[in-house]
Amino acid sequence: MKKDFYYCIVLSDSQLDFLAGSKYGIDRMKVLKCLIDAAVIKETKYEKKGFAVTLHIGQIALSEVELATRLGYDKKTVSRLLDKMAELGIITSEQTNRTSIHTVHCVSAWYADNQKILNPYYVSVKERRNHVYEIGEDGSGENCIATDVPNGENTKSDTATCCDNGQPSLYLISDRNVHGGDGV
């Protein structure tokens, strides 16, 4: 029996506009849903033909070929779509010699079995609004999202807005719905 999952998904206007669009019959939201569904919600050891990695909450080990096959889309199209999603800050992807590791940044938390699971890779709307991001190479050869938020700064996450009410909730928050970062 499949468990009930609830998601706190936070998207900017540009991210939502991109995902709502469709080109060449590709349902972009379907691709995001596939990635979110495949994301681990607890640390998981992933092994494949002599390759091993620990996936952290919010990460997915899924090659572009595997993703294209699951969705019934062309591999090149999926590759371009993932590149655009990374450019918009929805995900980041790292290629390995056996697969790709994707990290979801637009899900602030999951609810599973009445337990809230926070995504450590989530980038809040407040951080998106107040700071400049650079998505791409960080000098170490890995994809990242860099921000000028000081490490010690305590900020209330958007998760508090959509997930701290004590009940599992399904929310889609857009920049249009957030006023001062305090409400939906």
Radius of gyration of the chain (CA): 16
Rounded to 5 degrees, φ, ψ at 97 are -75, -5
Neighbour-count burial for 95-130, b at 16+ CB within 10 Å, e otherwise: eeeebbbbbbbbbbbbbeeeebbbbebbbbbbbbee
Determine the pLDDT at residue 131: 52
Determine the pLDDT at residue 49: 83
Predicted confidence (pLDDT) per residue in 52-90, tens digit: 899 999 999 999 999 999 999 999 999 999 999 999 999
Determine the pLDDT at residue 172: 44
Which residues of the chain have a pLDDT value below 50? 1, 132-184
Determine the pLDDT at residue 56: 95
- CB atoms < 10 A from the CB of 78, how many? 22
Determine the pLDDT at residue 134: 47
